[in-house]
Structure 1
Amino acid sequence: MTNKTMTLHDAVARLIRSGDQMAIGGFTTSRKPLAVIGEILRQGQTEFIAQGGPAGSDWDMLIGAGRVKAYINCYTANPRFSNVSRRFRAAIEEGRILFEDYSQDAAMMSFHGASLGLPYVPVKMMLGSGMEKEWGIPEEIRRTIDKLPNQKYIIQENPFQPGEKLLLMPTPRIDVAILHVQMASPDGTCRILGDPYQDVDLAFASERTIVTCDELVANEEIRRSPELNTIPGICVDAVVHLPYGGHPSQVYDCYDYDKEFYLAYDRAGKTEESFCEWLKEWVYDLPDHRAYLNKLGATRLIDLKVTTGFGYHVSTETIVGEVAAP
């Protein structure tokens, strides 16, 4: 059996390169591979062509640190904590980033098309909307960037239904995908509990895939229940055992999101100066993920552990109250 386990440092150093078209799994504040983001920032890879999908502080951190050349996205926020991620918004308002906007359903369709090896997907969403009529990245600029299609889309008549229009949306050619899962084995087999979001498509679509996991189990163990597995090992290039590798996001059935951490991140993002101070404290001054966890502290992490039967953290008072209720 192939052993694909690596340290976080080695996985990022070997598989993530400046200029990559990169995609990140998870959804806003759920199952985001944020420990990998920190390591990328420490190592210095930059000039990414970003396939944002439903993003949160993952791409917001990379944008704020000046590591993104072009951003293709449908949504960037930490719901409940920031309606629109602050460093992303500042970059758009100040004209410091190339940005193209797609609807979320269209973005998910493009990822699925990429996983099937299709050059484009025909969709109806976005037709008649501002996303059809307004381009964030003009064609003349697109032609200067190898990893971007020359056009945002092409509108064409449905060959099977004359008179019906279709929007032909190009699929991304993803160099590297970064995912965080609850469980993986050394050969790369992954088990995602709860909603897989776009992660399976990203694993199939990308040239290289890094997976971090909260629990590393033997190949034989993960095969005992093959019907529960989500991503086959053939799609994965590196497996990094990284407990709390999704913090501060929530990882279903493992730990809840860290509300106070997200609130602090939102405050820090209000200005360039405070954001740089936050990055220094929580990324650059820490040598690795272990140091990050030590800085957070055991009690804080224990308090995020999910309550069995709920899938998220619930206080003792809430549990007792529900049990006592008629």
Structure 2
Amino acid sequence: MPHEKLISLAEAVRRYTWDGMQYASGAALPVGSDAIVFGRELLRQNRKDLHAIFHCNTQQLNLLAAAGAVTRAECGFSGLEVFGFANGLRRAVESGRLALEDYSNLAIPLRLLGGALNWPFVPATVAIGSDIQYRSAFAPDDYPAQKKIPMVTDPFTGKEIGAFLPLRPDLAAIHVTLADPLGNAIILGTEWSRFELSRAAKKVVLIADALVDTACMRQFPNLVRIPDIIVEAVVHWPFAAWPQSSPGMYDADEEHMVAMNKALATEEGTAAYIRDYIDGVTDIPAYLDRIGRDKVEHLRRSSTSFLLDPFRQWLLAAEEVAP
């Protein structure tokens, strides 16, 4: 089996990230699939001053904000749904360490679409006439904000509409369910804006729960939402979205979701969380041990497991996928 784009998690962060970069991650809801393990490695390698772009806040942004790695962020939703507000993100914003620019859940994918299509700006018919337009965390003394969503004139009708700045992040670390070693990917469950993000980002690294033979991609070409031509590298990492869920693979770890958010509410709790769940957890066996092997098996017994059935015959064993 060729390993053209397979690299380790640590190498992906070393090769494709740097301090001060614009970093985006792909997620499906704040409790769904996100490349959270990539954010853990960003902290292990002490990346800082990141400008984060998330369609939805997840435990990754919550963690990066709590640890002080992010100084600017843009997202369309900042909560954690049933698990409450993101304590690490709130603490970073309230302390003044992080400027959080607020957009809507439609505005962010529209801005990513604009980046993907290389538009100079995105016509905005949403988020105008409200404080989403008038308030800017990046220019707090400018009210109403002049540069966040400026008004432009439609040349065909003469109507005044808004203009979004397209998003073109330096790197997108995108969680996918299945990838092959060439960089083709299949996403099970809700996709949200991972399709648009993969086309808008300057570079894309896939974080895959499982690897499959390329024959799988040839069997289901209509399901390949991210093709190899736009992917720089592939990282294989089971439970990459933990403690969040990956449809077809595992459920959310609700107990850890609560405990993690509670820990990130304080500097002391954040330091303890990093010590217990990030420092020294540098390979997959250690990572699964830290989650707990019994819990891993419990989370795998998901009611969505049937979604993986059409693809099981192409799943690659661990010894076949070492980068």
Fold match (TM-score > 0.5): yes
Does the 8 A contact of 1:57 with 1:77 survive in 2?
no
TM-score, structure 2 as length reference:
0.88
Q: Secondary structure at the match of 2:5?
A: coil
Structure 1, unaligned runs of 5 or more: 142-149, 313-326
Q: Does 1:52 align with 2:54?
A: yes
Does the 8 A contact of 2:116 with 2:168 survive in 1?
no
Aligned residue pairs total 302
Q: Secondary structure at the match of 1:304?
A: helix
Deviations 1:108-158 (A, max 9, x none): 1101111111121001111111111222111899xxxxxxxx921220122
Does the 8 A contact of 1:183 with 1:191 survive in 2?
yes
Does the 8 A contact of 1:139 with 1:151 survive in 2?
no
Match of 1:22 in 2: 23
Give the letter aligned to residue 232 of structure 1: P
**Structure 1 residue 301: deviation in Å?**
0.8
Specify whether residues 263 and 139 from structure 1 end up closer, same or farther in structure 2 by C-alpha distance, changes over 3 A only: closer
Q: Distance in 1 between matches of 2:152 and 2:304?
A: 51
For residues 95-134 of structure 1, the aligned pairs below 5 Å read 95-134=96-135
Match of 1:251 in 2: 246
Q: Distance in 1 between matches of 2:292 and 2:203?
A: 33
**Structure 1 residue 2: deviation in Å?**
7.4
Deviations 1:58-104 (A, max 9, x none): 1111111111121112212221112x201111111121112211112
Q: Distance in 1 between matches of 2:187 and 2:305?
A: 17
Q: Does 1:286 align with 2:281?
A: yes
TM-score, structure 1 as length reference:
0.87
Point out the more displaced range, 265-274 or 184-193: 265-274
Q: Does 1:155 align with 2:156?
A: no
For residues 1-326 of structure 1, the aligned pairs below 5 Å read 3-26=4-27, 27-82=29-84, 84-138=85-139, 151-162=147-158, 164-305=159-300, 306-307=302-303
Match of 1:147 in 2: none
Q: Secondary structure at the match of 1:244?
A: coil
Does the 8 A contact of 1:35 with 1:289 survive in 2?
no
Deviations 1:196-249 (A, max 9, x none): 111111111111111111111122332122112111101111111111111111
Q: Secondary structure at the match of 2:88?
A: helix
Match of 2:316 in 1: none
Give the letter aligned to residue 116 of structure 1: L
Specify whether residues 153 and 271 from structure 1 end up closer, same or farther in structure 2 by C-alpha distance, changes over 3 A only: same
Q: Distance in 2 between matches of 1:88 and 1:139?
A: 18
**Structure 1 residue 106: deviation in Å?**
0.9
Deviations 1:163-201 (A, max 9, x none): x22110101221000111111111100001122111111
Does the 8 A contact of 1:111 with 1:202 survive in 2?
yes
Does the 8 A contact of 2:249 with 2:305 survive in 1?
no
Give the letter aligned to residue 71 of structure 2: K
Does the 8 A contact of 2:31 with 2:81 survive in 1?
yes
Q: Distance in 1 between matches of 2:140 and 2:162?
A: 17
Q: Distance in 2 between matches of 1:187 and 1:23?
A: 22
Q: Secondary structure at the match of 1:234?
A: helix
Give the letter aligned to residue 98 of structure 2: I
Q: Distance in 2 between matches of 1:310 and 1:22?
A: 33
Does the 8 A contact of 2:56 with 2:78 survive in 1?
yes
Structure 2, unaligned runs of 5 or more: 309-323
Q: Distance in 1 between matches of 2:305 and 2:50?
A: 40
Specify whether residues 263 and 40 from structure 1 end up closer, same or farther in structure 2 by C-alpha distance, changes over 3 A only: same
Specify whether residues 190 and 80 from structure 1 end up closer, same or farther in structure 2 by C-alpha distance, changes over 3 A only: same
**Structure 1 residue 289: deviation in Å?**
3.9
Does the 8 A contact of 1:120 with 1:169 survive in 2?
yes
**Structure 1 residue 48: deviation in Å?**
1.0
Specify whether residues 93 and 216 from structure 1 end up closer, same or farther in structure 2 by C-alpha distance, changes over 3 A only: same
Give the letter aligned to residue 273 of structure 1: E
